[in-house]
Amino acid sequence: MFVVDGAGDSILAKLRTGDFSSALCANPVDRRIYSVDVNEPRVYVVDGRSRTVADTIQLGGVGPIGLYVGVQNDVLYALCHNHSSYFGSTLYAINSRTSRASKIASVGGSCFAACINHRDGKAYLVEPESLTVIDVLHDSVLRTIGELSPSYRHPADALCYADREDKIYCPCAETSGIVVVDGAGDSIRSRIHVGSSVEHLAYDSNEDRVYCSDYASLYVIDAARDSVVAAVPIGSSSYPTLLCRNPQDHKTYVASQSSNDVVVVGSDNEVEATVPLNASPEALCYDPGNDKIYCANHGRDGAGMTVIDGASDNVLAEIGIGNEFWDDNFCMCVDPRDNLIYCANSDDTMLTIVDGARDTVVATTAVGDEPVSLFYNPQDGLVYCANSNSGSISVLRSSAGIAEQHSFTTGNCPRSLGVVRGVLQVSDVLADGPKARYDLLDIGGRRVMKLQMGANDVQRLAPGVYFVREQLQATTLKPQTIQKVVLTK
């Protein structure tokens, strides 16, 4: 890093801040400059007064890229990769009751997809040339299945588990097909030829069918026989990029970013409708409670949702959810219990909540930096949001369209709050808990009081919705936590 005199245009100092600096930012309050190196999991802190490196902040180097339902009712799994080099991945187990995360196992490759085998208590991680099998009950790597050659381009849903058959389906780039792995013996059972560059998989347990798409077709596979029963042409120029299954109406939805539409394939494995979109589709999800399909779109006019009726294939509503400056990475999930749809964009720190009955936005709430995966756990009724850049997972509990959340990084436990008889109790079980400081904000984001650990008298405040926000500390890049509290008389 070079320090240049703005008046004389001369070099005042040269500082060692890594080999490949990728970002700089300045804090005008304390006159510190922060530099990050793309190849190192740390931040260099430069003192602007003395023009020296004052400190380095070590980062964990991992960010969650996927969330998966656990083998036990109270366990969720997060797949993380190494941010500094994108090589090396870790699988964490998260206890949804205590919000504690513990490392299950690490692998050397860069994993980009995973699935959980509930019957045998295993997790499968897709690496560039292999499939790693992990015993999630005993925290150990069982074996690595080679000669798969999955593509680097596979999304998070490029792996699925067929529970009725105890099989795992994984696309294979070199053979232009799908490799079928036996869940009990962890061996390759068969290979299914389905065309080139299969990227998305979906399993319908009611029909025992696996659905997958490549550049121009949708393939239907009989999971019992591992045979292709139908190949539905979608169009050579469509380039299907998203896949969603509607088990109630026995339909499959294939979205295309090149043609900006959603193709509907019926129970007879024939195209029965094509739904045009106003922008590029980025995420698909099915709402079983209302029999609707929600498609997140992104274009010049901003981000939105197209709502499709599952029975008639008609567009029911268009919902605005963001701006044109968002990127193309969306994630969605449905909370069928509270009839809510959650949508986040990796270029923002806000999550949008849509009422599934009225198809209107009912709330937005802050999550971590770069949300990349959303998951609803029916066991505890919580929604989990994986935030890749901040290395955290936000946990949201919905109530009448309002989300309460707390965020935690792997290995730590979140804060807890409670209001009893006009006293707000703040407790923290993190290792550095006594050092934490919090502010109480009103609904407009204005600070109304500083909070201390333990009891805080809030009787003088008017009833309503407030937010507790952790004060950002200069010595750490740990994401701030925000949690909603409701004060009543």
Q: What pLDDT digit, counting tens, does each position of 63-82 carry?
A: 455 556 554 545 667 666 55
pLDDT at 278: 85
Q: Are strands 315-322 and 330-335 parallel, antiparallel or unpaired?
A: unpaired
Q: What average pLDDT score do residues 448-468 get?
A: 81
Residue 30 has pLDDT above 60, yes or no: no
Determine the Cα–Cα distance for residues 177 and 149; give it in Å rounded to an integer. 11
Q: What is the pLDDT of residues 8-23, one digit of tens each?
A: 778 787 777 766 565 5
pLDDT at 236: 57
Contact 79, 60 (CB under 8 A): no
Which residues partner with 366 through β-bridges? 350
Rounded to whole angstroms, what are the CA distances from 255 to 10, 214, 259, 318, 443?
56, 12, 9, 16, 38
What secondary structure letter does DSSP report for 463? S
Determine the Cα–Cα distance for residues 185 and 256; give it in Å rounded to an integer. 37
Instruction: For domain 416-487, give the CATH number.
Output: 2.60.40.10
Instruction: For domain 112-275, give the CATH number.
Output: 2.130.10.10
pLDDT at 404: 46
Contact 486, 458 (CB under 8 A): no
Residue 28 has pLDDT above 80, yes or no: no
Q: Which of 67-71, 232-236, 273-277 has the highest mean pLDDT?
A: 273-277
Q: Rounded to the nearest 5°, which phi and psi values hold at 354?
A: -115, 135
Residue 56 has pLDDT above 70, yes or no: no
Q: Are strands 251-256 and 261-265 parallel, antiparallel or unpaired?
A: antiparallel
Residue 140 has pLDDT above 70, yes or no: yes
pLDDT at 290: 93
pLDDT at 356: 92
Comparing 108-122, 142-156, 211-225, 346-360, the range with the smallest average pLDDT is: 142-156
pTM, two decimals, is 0.64
Q: Regarding predicted confidence, which is higher, 23 or 422?
A: 422
Contact 194, 227 (CB under 8 A): no
Instruction: Tell whether the torsion through CA atoms of 268, 269, 270 and 271 is positive or negative.
Output: positive
Mean pLDDT of the chain: 75
Instruction: Tell whether the torsion through CA atoms of 222, 228, 229 and 230 is positive or negative.
Output: positive
Which residues partner with 248 through β-bridges? none
Q: CA nearest 331: which of 362, 300, 290, 376?
A: 376
- Taking residue 21's Cβ as centre, other Cβ atoms within 10 Å add up to 15
Q: Regarding predicted confidence, which is higher, 452 or 401?
A: 452
At residue 55 the predicted structure's pLDDT band, cuts being 50, 70 and 90, is low
What secondary structure letter does DSSP report for 309? E
In 112-220, which ranges are continuous DSSP H helix?
A: none
- Residue % of the chain over a pLDDT of 70: 64
pLDDT at 450: 84
With 0-12 / 13-18 / 19 or more C-beta atoms within 10 angstroms meaning exposed / middle / buried, residue 16 is exposed
Residue 176 has pLDDT above 60, yes or no: yes
* Extents of the domains making up the chain: 2-58, 112-275, 416-487
Q: What is the pLDDT of residues 40-49, one digit of tens each?
A: 545 566 777 7
pLDDT at 403: 43
Tokens of 53: 């490196």
Which residues partner with 419 through β-bridges? 424
Residue 24 has pLDDT above 70, yes or no: no
Q: What average pLDDT score do residues 402-407 get?
A: 46
What secondary structure letter does DSSP report for 61? -
Residues belonging to the chain: 489
One-character DSSP codes across 169-238: EEEETTTTEEEEEETTT-SEEEEEE--S---EEEEETTTTEEEEE-SSEEEEEETTTTEEEEEEE--TTT
Residue 261 has pLDDT above 70, yes or no: yes
Comparing 54-68, 254-268, 316-330, 474-488, the range with the smallest average pLDDT is: 54-68
Q: Regarding predicted confidence, which is higher, 251 or 411?
A: 251
pLDDT at 444: 65
